[in-house]
Amino acid sequence: MPSSLALGTPPSPPDISVADWREEEFAVLNLRIALRTNEPGLADHLRTIFPGQEGVVATVPPGRQDYVVSCVRNQAHQRAYQVATGGRVVLRTWDRDALATYLERSICNAIAEHLGHRYVLIHAAALAHGGCGILFPGASGAGKSLTAAALAANGFQYFSDEVAVVTDDGRLRPFPKVISLKADGWRKLAEAFPFVAPAGGWLPSGEGGLYHLDPSHRLRSGGRWAGPPVRFIIVPSRRAGASTILEPLPKPAALTLLLEQSLNLRQLGTRAMGVLVRLVKESECFTLAAGSLREAGSLVARLTQLRGGPGLR
Amino acid sequence: MHAERLRTGAKSGEHRLPLRASGLLEYGVEGQLILCEPSVEQVHFLNATAAAIWLLCDGRHTEADIVAELAALFNWDVPGVESDVRETLADFLRKGLLRAPPGYDA
């Protein structure tokens, strides 16, 4: 089971010893992140990806910094970047896309670690429709983010595209990050939903970068708000060009997958185990082979409306 | 070691009293029994037959009793059930799901 999200392999290049940086702070939930950088627009870009939660920021004591990351650009080699956290250089790269992706994953992990003391975290997309929470668990590359983007474009409430946050009583909480899509996924989304526009100040320059989508239905209430109970667990898979099929999945198989994709099972122990079992017991479980994004969205919408019905085609 | 002893013939273990390991958490999910160690390092999924054997491992039923109970429960022939029970108990022992029953090391 993954303990954190993959950060990728840091490329080599230059050692940057001198940089004229300034510090910018932003708060996500009640986690205060300090970014020390000399790169224009980077802090605003990260603020867009990790929007603050209204009404919660004020609870962070002044001066407290939970996660400090420095990202500096070499003054001599204008395209060389160096990232450090905890006093240790963790990435040196020439690639702006690699830098942005690394920072995003790194902050994502910091937020997950922060939330993981209190909530059960699952490597899954999470959305809601008609008062029913829906989990889309799966390993990286399974199509979680694209499924989340397609459903958000269909009017579903968005909670997360990567880390599902679940309370002990089986309810969803929002993970404060917008949807991230690789170039290929973004192209498919834009083909199916031409009205979508990328969020964030930094657009990727190559295939390796990430596009971002800020769902209009994203929940901003944060803090004390209790979300809908999880009622569906749907395992997505990509089947480009094929039929879009939703089929029942045995609950033990769904539990096995949740155990594999739990991000803090060992940390929370039997408490997390109990929550995962509860989720499976209280949910209907399916696999979704998504040949068409639009079909997948309408199929899942029908499923939530016809709750308790048999597998749909 | 115990698993090896359990495999030493159909009759050798019939008077033993298999006993479930303590401290395991049990969950029932759609016809399967799920056993979880407190450390959550290992999670075991038992189908209906294995679950029935597990539940009969109460320190009061001998292996022969378990065979008889299972045969009656599922309407199976006793000879066919014996080897299944023996193999399942050996598997339970290997996975630490059983305690060594009294007299096991005698």
Band (A30; pLDDT cuts 50, 70, 90):
confident
Alpha-carbon dihedral angle through residues B12, B17, B21, B25, given to the nearest 10 degrees: 120
Q: What are phi and psi of A168, to 5 degrees?
A: -60, -25
The encoded tokens of residue A281 equal: 């017991």
Q: Which of A291, A16, A307, A287 is closest to A133 using CA atoms?
A: A307
Cβ–Cβ < 8 Å for A190, A196: yes
Question: Under the phi-then-psi rule, with left for phi > 0, alpha for psi from -120 to 50, and beta for the rest, what region is A170?
Answer: left
> What's the pLDDT at A254?
96
Q: Considering only residues A153 and A284, tell me which one the structure prediction assigns the higher pLDDT.
A: A284
Per the CB < 8 A criterion, the answer to whether A197 and A237 are in contact is no
Q: B59: exposed, middle or buried (C-beta count within 10 Å: 0-12, 13-18, 19+)?
A: exposed
Burial state string for A246-281 with b = 16 or more CB within 10 A and e = fewer than 16: beebebbbbbebbbebbbbbebbbeebbbbbbbbbe
Share of chain B above pLDDT 90, in %: 57
Q: What pLDDT is recorded for position B14?
A: 64
Measured distance between the N- and C-terminal CA atoms of chain A, rounded to whole angstroms: 32
Instruction: Give the model's pLDDT for residue B4.
Output: 38
- Chain B: nearest CA to A261, how far in angstroms? 14
If contacts are CB pairs under 8 Å, which of residues 5-34 in chain A contact chain B?
none
* Better-scored residue on pLDDT, A146 or A52: A146
**What integer is the mean pLDDT of B62-70?**
94
Q: Which chain A residues have a beta carbon less than 8 Å from that of B42?
A: none
Tokens of A190: 């834009």
Which residues of chain A lie closer than 8 angstroms to B29, CB-CB? 251-252, 255, 277, 280-281
Give tens-digit pLDDT for A139-182.
Answer: 888 889 999 999 988 888 999 999 999 999 999 998 989 999 99
- Whole-number mean pLDDT of chain A? 82
Q: Do B30 and A272 touch (CB under 8 A)?
A: no
| CB within 8 Å: B38 and A269 | yes
Which residues are CB-neighbours of B101 under 8 A, at least 6 positions away? Answer: B16, B17, B18, B19, B59
**Model confidence band, residue B13 (pLDDT cutoffs 50, 70, 90):** low
3-state secondary structure of B89: helix
Q: Closest approach of chain B CAs to the CA of A249, in angstroms?
A: 11
What's the rounded Cα separation, in Å, for the pair B67 and B53? 9
From chain B, the residues in CB contact with A251 under 8 A are 29-30
What is the C-alpha to C-alpha distance for residues A187 and A20, in angstroms, rounded to an integer?
A: 37
pLDDT at B66 over 90: yes
Within 8 A of A270 by CB-CB distance, chain B residues are 25, 36, 38, 40
Q: Most A CBs within 10 Å: which of B25, B30, B46, as the mutation test of the A interface?
A: B30
Nearest beta carbon to residue A270 from set B32, B36, B45:
B36
Give yes or no for B17 touching A (CB within 8 A): no
Tell me how far apart the alpha carbons of residues A83 and A102 are, in angstroms, rounded to a whole number.
Answer: 9
Q: Provide the pLDDT for residue B1.
A: 36
Please name the residue that has the structure tokens 């250089």.
Answer: A89
Across A111-123, average pLDDT: 93
Rounded mean pLDDT, A81-100: 86
CA A263 – CA A4 distance, rounded (Å)? 6
Instruction: Mention every residue, 6+ apart, whose C-beta is less than 8 A from residue A219.
Output: A157, A158, A159, A174, A225, A227
From the list B29, B38, B39, the residue facing A277 with the nearest CB is B29
The reply to whether residue B29 touches residue A256, judged by beta carbons under 8 angstroms, is: no
pLDDT digits (tens, 9 = 90+) for A176-219: 899 999 998 999 899 988 888 888 778 888 777 899 988 854 44
Q: Touching check for A269 and chain B: CB below 8 Å?
A: yes
Residue with the bigger pLDDT between A11 and A297: it is A297
* 3-class secondary structure, A129: strand
Taking 80 as the threshold, does the pLDDT of residue A138 lie above it? yes
A99 contacts A83 by C-beta, under 8 angstroms: yes
Cβ-based neighbours of A67, under 8 Å, separated by 6 or more: A31, A32, A33, A34, A85, A107, A110
Residues in B closer than 8 angstroms to A281, CB to CB, are: 29
Q: What per-residue confidence (pLDDT) applies to A6?
A: 53
Q: Does A255 touch chain B (CB under 8 A)?
A: yes
ipTM of the complex: 0.74
Least confident of A124-128, A284-288, A307-311: A307-311
The pTM score is 0.83
Interface-testing mutation among A233, A258, A259, A284, with chain B (most B C-beta atoms within 10 A):
A259
In this structure, what DSSP letter does residue B12 have? T
Band of pLDDT at residue B105, cut at 50, 70 and 90: very low
Whether the CB-CB separation of A272 and A280 falls below 8 Å is answered with no
Residue B63 clears pLDDT 60, i.e. is over it: yes
Q: Show residues of chain A in contact with B30, CB under 8 Å.
A: 250-252
Residue A227 confidence (pLDDT) above 60: yes
Q: What is the 3-state secondary structure (H, E, C) of B32-48?
A: EEEEECCCCCCEEEECH
Average pLDDT over residues A228-247: 87
Looking at residue A24, its pLDDT comes to 83
Nearest-CA distance from A120 to chain B in Å? 14
Q: Please tell me which of the candidates B25, B34, B38 has its beta carbon nearest to residue A255.
A: B34
Cβ of residue B23 closer than 8 Å to a chain A Cβ: no
At A76, is the pLDDT very low, low, confident or very high (cuts 50, 70, 90)?
low
